Amino acid sequence: GGTAGESGRYDLLGMLPQVKCPTLFLQGNPEMGALLAEEDLQQALELMPSAVSVRIDHAGHDIHLQDAAAALRAVTLFLESI
C-alpha cells in the first residue's frame, strides 16, 4: 500500500490508516467551493480515529485566505493540544 498502482493514482484511503502523526483536517464550506465533502471527511475520520477535524463555515477552498483568523485559531489550538 501507499504506492502508485497501475493507473498511476495513489490509494489515499488505503494510506490513511498508516498515518501515525497527529492530524488536523481543516474543512471549508462545500457551498463556497471547499473540496473536502462531508462524506469524504467522515470516511477519513473513520480510518484515522485520532485525527481532529475543524469546519470553517465562512471559507471555501482557500481557508487561510478567506478566514485567516479562524484557520490560525484552529491550527494553534490543534498544535497546543499535541
For residue range 10-44, list pLDDT tens digits in order.
Answer: 788 889 999 999 999 999 999 999 999 999 999 99
Q: Is 34 exposed, middle or buried (0-12, 13-18, 19+ CB in 10 A)?
A: buried
CB-CB neighbours of 45 under 10 Å: 16
% of the chain at pLDDT higher than 90: 80
Mean pLDDT of all residues in 49-74: 96
With a cut of 70, say whether residue 1 has pLDDT above it: no
Confidence band of 6 (pLDDT split at 50, 70, 90): low
Q: What is the pLDDT of residue 4?
A: 52
DSSP state of 58: T
